[in-house]
Structure 1
């Protein structure tokens, strides 16, 4: 036991010397000395009794902890049993709900399953099938359920009955337990709502009703019920089922036994609405009959009274000591944990203090630095005059507020850059005792700044050397944030060129509101992530001031100051545009030449076709002349002969007009064209060549085809070329008369979810060789001796210019090639053609 210390004239901090106690003891009377001498054994006895009381209290607390742990363990075991029982019933109800959702269970089978479950599990009182209109489709209840709680099939739930849980199960689409309630007849009920899903929609619930008394009776193990008073409570602590022990008399409780020997825990998955509680039956003696308790209490009070004085004084001393130690440790830890080096100088420039960070930066220890005078060891030899002048300015009070940069030498000789800040050092009395200097290593920031400067210089050099104009301007402002050399050469340093390119390219811009007078971004606060993450927009424009065609690409970006800006990159594409125009003109001339070549190859057939109406006209005229000279013709015969002569002349004129329109060179003219008319025109032109080669043509045009936005002459050129090639392939293969057929089909299709019209020409020739298939569309490649090799190349060019595709494939009869099929499709760009039905059909 610590010897008590009193406050005397010697001060609160220092105890009195031993001689004082001896003098005080000698001044006491013998009676008093004997009395004080008796207190020693009494104190020893008090300490002994206190030890006994402590041991009694310890054993009693240990016993109470063991009892409490036993109650807790048994209650948690009972809660797990009840929880598993609820989860098993929940899983069974979810299985029934799943079968109902899959339309595998009707009301009769549901009633049978419900009856089986209610009989098998006594805690389950009723099962009901409720549809989405809160109407009971099927229900089964245990015989013990009162008539007032029975649910009749076909009835609707009463207003307010389970309405909250029913709506919660419908919204959450998962099983929901209701808050258990105690009935008026003393029977508590717990409801479980399991939602039904019919064809992806809410289809009602399966309502299961549990008896809380049944859960307690069949869910709690018998050994737990025998050892404790077990009860199920609601969220407000009211008993729903089971028994509860009466409250104990506080007068009989020990001071350390205020906690009742009971434990309660919520029952999941119901939650805090259902709590299971167990109370241990009383097995110990009453507090009043425990004499040992009162003896220990009295001795403890005496001991506490004797120690209280010494404890108070000792506590005050320890508090002051701990505060001093904590303050010292805090200041030392703060100084040692700082990354900034600290150095203190007296008024003469001598180092009086350095922290750990300063020593770590310089490499010199505290003992090597404290007490040193200028020049200091961490001064580089080449900078000593400059640093000495700086130190003199510090000592004279001429300090710089923003600090200054110097070079510092480490102990190993290496140099680093540092920034120093100087401030006066004032003591506790308010007098300046020196100067405090803080030092920060800025070697890495300087290196990063130099790298950034070099990177910016490289970036600027690259942009200035680009052969494209680059400009950046904020939205809603006429300020030019950036412009490279080519932009300045074209448009100067104004934003007019940037805005002109944006306007001509059709990119939306947003001028700043006239009402705003502050030079701020009008888009502050708006989400710009979608704009800056979008792909760039391209456009080709012509700038009259420059006389150039420019390809303009623009995109949005966040500028360095946070404003939303628009970057425009313009590339000079004037040579490319000229090349494209020349290429288009050459393609047009090639198309006209191809049509002339086609008609040249068909010249003999065309001459034969024209010879027939001209011969008929000659015969009709000679016959008329002979009969008129012999006066053997009347007016009726004369009119009939003249009408036949006129029809033959008209036929010859139509053939010549069709050929002239086909070979006539004209600018491409895309219009909404009727597919059937184009096919008929092409068939009439190609039919001359097919009949000359003794090839039979059959064509099919589907009904109700939409109109196509095409140049009809070019599409007819493709069809004529394919039909003519098919006839030549059959003729070259020397097929017999029965197999000399060409089929033309025009049908609607969908290619990659896009509606198209497909044209296919199928022949019965010898097909295409593999080496020919690889070079089929190559310019100036032909399998014909007299061919020029531009027909199929032009055909594919024409089709692709109409956003279509063309392909060729061989047809097989087993392993033998039985023909070839060329097909191409054109995307639909018009409404369905009402005239397509009139000319649709099959022609042989």
Structure 2
């Protein structure tokens, strides 16, 4: 028994070797994930491993390729520099030989024949030398020797002079530097390839005596100056300063460097300037392609293809797994949704088999009837929720249901609850089909319609009350669809006036002009407002118009608005109200106002009668005196023709003056209908000033008036506006007389100027006096009818003045003038709108206000 006890006391391997902390954290994190996330990580791990393997292979290939490119570039650089040294040494050797010839020429050790023999030997011995020319200090060619391969256009003849050009410029540079100078002339298009020139200075006894010009064939220099092994490995070219190829054939140039450059085969190139020529001659070498590169390697494509196939298989498997998981989740969600929807709907669901047995009821059905699912499932008719009095009728309905005679709109029945209460329900029946397409029974939905029935009854009662109200209205109400002859609704008054047809409705619409494009005949079925948004039409305000119907002998106020009828059509409702009594009252009021204006003018002229008589007395007395004087001089025989004409002219002038006074007074007093027309402001003011001047002189009051220049016309009745101005100026004179002002302070000022009031251009009339002003209580009631501060006044003058101004769409106001706290006068002002378009009016007012 000791051995088992000893074994039991030994620690288990898990206890003896606890898990590392990292592994414990990893397990804890893995177990905290949901199964879906665990599956996702499990599917992504192999894919990540394959991608990491592919990335490692690509990195290794890239590193090896870069190493290979670096080695090739280093070998190319060494070979090109070696070739450049060979070309440089060859040029230096030729330069040394040419300098010896130049020294002999400078020392005059060579004549022309010896120069020709020596240079011919050099040209035949060294193929790169194409021509050697001796030029004196005057740039004249003394002698020239050329190879047979030189083009005729490039030959230099003895006796020629170096003209302006690159050779002449180098000649001047050599003279200045006294050093050999290389140059590479630029050839024109279509000419032979240019030659590399070397000009060595000639110095006789320390003085510049010319140059020895040698010309090299660049192609021969490349061919014979570079090593043969370099020419075999690389494509060598000589370039000028403008990167133009002078000799050799280059390989295809590489495109711009991209990030994938190490992975494709590219041309390995290197270039270096050729000394002693300098940057004008560059040796460029391009290595021939010797391998297919990484991208052309079969191993690379094999590894890439296998990795891509493995990744594609892993992704396809992962997507298939995800689709299955989604399908499973969707199925679970759909089941839960249908169960929740089934339990939350208020419609009762009942399933019957082909024998009429209840096989299924939902929670709403049980709640509506009061019986539980266990009590209802398995019942055969008669069911427990059938009222006993309706068994026979419900049996007939059930037989029709089981025989397939279903009504599309359902049928209404009464249902009894468990507590005995009854309610109205509507049943809808549809066949129940299983997964194999076989009918296994009938599905019935039951809806409680007790409340809808109650609402329908209330709506019927409300509609009846609404109809009674419309029938009792003292206005005609009609509704008709647009573009149709149908009359949708008409109340009692409409039928009394127009009958039961649409003619009256269309007549009201056409005469009131509340429907653009409508016609009274209605022959066209096209909707005049087709295409317009019905929402904005039905929400628009009603349109009002007043019309007169001769057949009814009535004035009607017609209001119209658009509405959507119960069937969705756009209809128009027209309400016509009899306003004949109101129009008659308005016409009578207008006549009374006109009579009051005439009476006011008569009263004004009655008050001015004595002044008018005095005014007429002057021209009449003058006429009498002129006539008596002419008679006396005629009787005495002293009347000459010239004196007679002068007297007659003066008599005629006085007679015209008297006639104008009488005509102006008759026009002012004469009663006439209002006649608004375009009126000149200056003429209107002058007429009023002449009428009021008589009364002002009677009160010993001066009149000053100012009318702005270039005032636009106004739409006004001239007589009425003159009446307003005369009344205001006469009131000002009377106020000054009552105040007993001294003679210097007895004045009335009339000003007419353009202004901007309420953003409208207007003409403002201002009458200012020097009287006592108006008391505060008088200012509050100044324009009331029958209110007057005069003992003999009727209180209609200012009230009529304000009415006249407001009838012209203007405004009138009064205010006191102060000098400190002392009232020194009163100002009456009113304005009238202009009769011009807005832009023209603003320009006119601006011009009128200029100084």
Given the two structures, how large is their TM-score scaled by the length of structure 1? 0.57
Match of 1:463 among 439, 462, 470: 470
Which has the larger displacement, 452-461 or 325-334? 325-334
Aligned partner of 1:403 in structure 2 is 410
Counterparts of 2:304 and 2:440, CA distance in 1 = 70
Aligned partner of 2:448 in structure 1 is 441
Aligned partner of 2:720 in structure 1 is 714
Counterparts of 1:396 and 1:63, CA distance in 2 = 62
Which has the larger displacement, 491-500 or 411-420? 411-420
1:557 aligns with 2:532: no
Asked if 1 retains the 8 angstrom alpha-carbon contact of 2:349 and 2:361, the reply is yes
Which has the larger displacement, 388-397 or 664-673? 388-397
1:789 aligns with 2:795: yes
1:488 aligns with 2:495: yes
1:746 aligns with 2:756: no
1:658 aligns with 2:664: yes
Which has the larger displacement, 480-489 or 450-459? 450-459
Cα distance per residue 1:689-737 (max 9 Å; x no partner): 1111111111111111112222111111111011111111111222221
Asked if 1 retains the 8 angstrom alpha-carbon contact of 2:510 and 2:519, the reply is no
Cα distance per residue 1:90-129 (max 9 Å; x no partner): xxxxxxxxxxxxxxxxxxxxxxxxxxxxxxxxxxxxxxxx
Q: Secondary structure of 1:562's partner?
A: coil
Aligned partner of 2:348 in structure 1 is 341
Q: Secondary structure of 2:751's partner?
A: strand
Is the alpha carbon distance of 1:385 and 1:830 closer, same or farther for their aligned partners in structure 2, counting shifts above 3 Å? Answer: same
Counterparts of 1:64 and 1:345, CA distance in 2 = 57
Counterparts of 1:628 and 1:374, CA distance in 2 = 145
Alpha-carbon shift at residue 642 of structure 1 (Å): 3.6
Aligned partner of 1:816 in structure 2 is 822
Aligned partner of 1:587 in structure 2 is 593
Match of 2:623 among 617, 621, 624: 617
Cα distance per residue 1:302-345 (max 9 Å; x no partner): xxxxxxxxxxxxxxxx9xx9999999989877865665323345
Aligned partner of 1:479 in structure 2 is 486
Match of 2:461 among 448, 454, 458: 454
Which has the larger displacement, 559-568 or 341-350? 341-350
Alpha-carbon shift at residue 589 of structure 1 (Å): 0.6
Is the alpha carbon distance of 1:485 and 1:661 closer, same or farther for their aligned partners in structure 2, counting shifts above 3 Å? Answer: same
Is the alpha carbon distance of 1:762 and 1:331 closer, same or farther for their aligned partners in structure 2, counting shifts above 3 Å? Answer: closer
Asked if 1 retains the 8 angstrom alpha-carbon contact of 2:517 and 2:528, the reply is no
Counterparts of 1:396 and 1:250, CA distance in 2 = 72
Is the alpha carbon distance of 1:553 and 1:325 closer, same or farther for their aligned partners in structure 2, counting shifts above 3 Å? Answer: closer
Alpha-carbon shift at residue 441 of structure 1 (Å): 2.2
Q: Secondary structure of 1:589's partner?
A: helix
Aligned partner of 2:533 in structure 1 is 527
Counterparts of 2:667 and 2:677, CA distance in 1 = 16
Aligned partner of 1:367 in structure 2 is 374
Aligned partner of 1:763 in structure 2 is 769
Cα distance per residue 1:462-485 (max 9 Å; x no partner): 322222212222332222222222
1:548 aligns with 2:550: no
- Where do 1:21-60 residues align within 5 Å? none
Cα distance per residue 1:213-266 (max 9 Å; x no partner): xxxxxxxxxxxxxxxxxxxxxxxxxxxxxxxxxx9998699999989xxxxxxx
Which has the larger displacement, 407-416 or 731-740? 407-416
Is the alpha carbon distance of 1:354 and 1:716 closer, same or farther for their aligned partners in structure 2, counting shifts above 3 Å? Answer: same
CA RMSD of the aligned region, Å? 4.6
Cα distance per residue 1:528-559 (max 9 Å; x no partner): 44444443332211111101011122233333
Aligned partner of 1:693 in structure 2 is 699
Counterparts of 1:428 and 1:254, CA distance in 2 = 46
Match of 2:808 among 802, 807, 829: 802
Counterparts of 1:694 and 1:827, CA distance in 2 = 34
Asked if 1 retains the 8 angstrom alpha-carbon contact of 2:518 and 2:528, the reply is no
Aligned partner of 2:72 in structure 1 is none
Alpha-carbon shift at residue 662 of structure 1 (Å): 0.7
- Where do 1:22-421 residues align within 5 Å? 336=343, 339-345=346-352, 351-380=358-387, 383-384=390-391, 386-387=393-394, 390-391=397-398, 400=407, 402-421=409-428
Counterparts of 1:801 and 1:534, CA distance in 2 = 30
1:501 aligns with 2:526: no
Asked if 1 retains the 8 angstrom alpha-carbon contact of 2:347 and 2:445, the reply is yes
Cα distance per residue 1:563-603 (max 9 Å; x no partner): 33332221111111111111111111111100000011111
Alpha-carbon shift at residue 616 of structure 1 (Å): 2.6
1:603 aligns with 2:609: yes
Counterparts of 2:339 and 2:603, CA distance in 1 = 102
Q: Secondary structure of 1:607's partner?
A: helix
Counterparts of 2:700 and 2:762, CA distance in 1 = 33
Alpha-carbon shift at residue 824 of structure 1 (Å): 1.3
Counterparts of 1:527 and 1:657, CA distance in 2 = 62
Is the alpha carbon distance of 1:258 and 1:521 closer, same or farther for their aligned partners in structure 2, counting shifts above 3 Å? Answer: same
- The aligned length equals 553
Asked if 2 retains the 8 angstrom alpha-carbon contact of 1:477 and 1:511, the reply is no
Alpha-carbon shift at residue 526 of structure 1 (Å): 4.4
Aligned partner of 2:173 in structure 1 is none
Asked if 1 retains the 8 angstrom alpha-carbon contact of 2:699 and 2:733, the reply is yes
Alpha-carbon shift at residue 371 of structure 1 (Å): 4.0
Structure 2: unaligned runs, 5 residues or longer: 1-22, 28-40, 56-253, 260-298, 312-324
Q: Secondary structure of 1:783's partner?
A: coil
Which has the larger displacement, 570-579 or 637-646? 637-646
Which has the larger displacement, 250-259 or 592-601? 250-259
Aligned partner of 1:538 in structure 2 is 544
Which has the larger displacement, 448-457 or 763-772? 448-457
Q: Secondary structure of 2:710's partner?
A: coil
Counterparts of 1:391 and 1:670, CA distance in 2 = 86
1:779 aligns with 2:785: yes
Counterparts of 1:705 and 1:619, CA distance in 2 = 43
Q: Secondary structure of 1:660's partner?
A: helix
Counterparts of 1:672 and 1:371, CA distance in 2 = 98
Q: Secondary structure of 1:665's partner?
A: coil
Aligned partner of 2:102 in structure 1 is none
Counterparts of 1:682 and 1:515, CA distance in 2 = 57
Q: Secondary structure of 2:696's partner?
A: helix
Alpha-carbon shift at residue 397 of structure 1 (Å): 7.0
Is the alpha carbon distance of 1:184 and 1:435 closer, same or farther for their aligned partners in structure 2, counting shifts above 3 Å? Answer: closer
Alpha-carbon shift at residue 440 of structure 1 (Å): 2.0
Is the alpha carbon distance of 1:429 and 1:757 closer, same or farther for their aligned partners in structure 2, counting shifts above 3 Å? Answer: closer
Which has the larger displacement, 602-611 or 633-642? 633-642
Is the alpha carbon distance of 1:184 and 1:427 closer, same or farther for their aligned partners in structure 2, counting shifts above 3 Å? Answer: closer
Is the alpha carbon distance of 1:736 and 1:326 closer, same or farther for their aligned partners in structure 2, counting shifts above 3 Å? Answer: closer
Is the alpha carbon distance of 1:669 and 1:329 closer, same or farther for their aligned partners in structure 2, counting shifts above 3 Å? Answer: closer
Counterparts of 2:433 and 2:534, CA distance in 1 = 53
Alpha-carbon shift at residue 781 of structure 1 (Å): 0.5
Counterparts of 1:359 and 1:535, CA distance in 2 = 52
Match of 2:575 among 569, 593, 601: 569
Q: Secondary structure of 2:573's partner?
A: strand
